[in-house]
Amino acid sequence: MKVLLVYAHPEPASFNGAMKDQIIQTLTRTGHEVTLSDLYAMNWQAAAGPDDFTFRANREVLRLQTEQAHAWRTRTFAPDLAQEVDRLDAADLVIFQFPLWWWSIPAILKGYIDRVFAYGFAYGQGASLSGKKALCCLTTGGPASSFESDTRGTVLHMLRPVHAGVFDFCKMDVLPPFVAYGAARLDDTERKEVLIRMDQYLSQIADTPSLKFD
């Protein structure tokens, strides 16, 4: 498979960075082709707006969906955005690697979704993402027990806006997430065990059943 790895952590030496490296190593070893989009290293512009387009359908009023669809038809996205749209279009599997912050994804990754998952390309008439696989790999600050509460909800509850609201909405096949709980509290041995578990998970990724949404 062609894999697009979208990595969203500001520190390369973090455990998220180690997980990113493990993803690349495992998938390359098992015959997949991996393209990395390191959002912080790219100084990714998170806010969608008029600068996303080199040629506007309507220069008087910005209607984002209209301009996104026009840019996809005419290939007039701004260069940074065009690169990521092309990468996503070419991928069979997209992986988001990130820390869970405030029960959600980092702002820079949300901005990636806002800009790259464009109307007309990712969803709507003529959309191109149907049938692609999507996976979230993430770390949490708290231990697994912190995500068993009926009040706060599980990681699956927290990821529903991405799983159902983005991936499934775009008719992608959503794979079960890989979660490293309490990453900051793990010692070196425990971190190695997580990476081994990740290697095992990713080695079978082509045959992993997808989640189902109502």
* Domain harbouring 197, CATH code: 3.40.50.360
Q: Does 102 map to a domain?
A: yes
Q: Is 186 among the domain residues?
A: yes
Q: Is residue 214 part of a domain?
A: no
**What's the confidence (pLDDT) of residue 139?**
96
Phi and psi at 20, nearest 5°, equal -60, -45
The burial of 185, by beta-carbon neighbours within 10 Å (0-12 exposed, 13-18 middle, 19 or more buried), is given as exposed
Residue 213 counted as domain residue = no
- Output the six-digit token pair for 136: 């979230």
Is residue 151 in some structural domain?
A: yes
DSSP readout, 109-172? HHHHHHHHS-BTTTBSTT---TT-EEEEEEE-SS-GGGG--TTT--HHHHHHHHIIIIIITTTP
Residue 146: per-residue pLDDT: 81
Please state, for a pLDDT cut of 90, what percent of the chain lies above it. Answer: 86
Given a cut of 70, the residues of the chain with pLDDT beneath it are 150
pLDDT at 125: 83
Do residues 19 and 137 lie in contact, with contact meaning Cβ atoms separated by under 8 Å? yes
List, in order, residues 6 or more apart from 178 with CB less than 8 Å away.
Answer: 135, 136, 137, 138, 198, 201, 202
pLDDT in the model for residue 181 = 93
Q: Write out pLDDT tens, residues 106-162.
A: 999 999 999 999 999 999 987 889 999 999 999 999 888 888 776 778 899 999 999
In a domain? residue 48? yes
* Tokens encoding 22: 């493990």
Paired tokens of 105: 């994804």
Query: Structural domain of residue 42, as residue ranges?
Result: 2-207
In a domain, 50, yes or no: yes
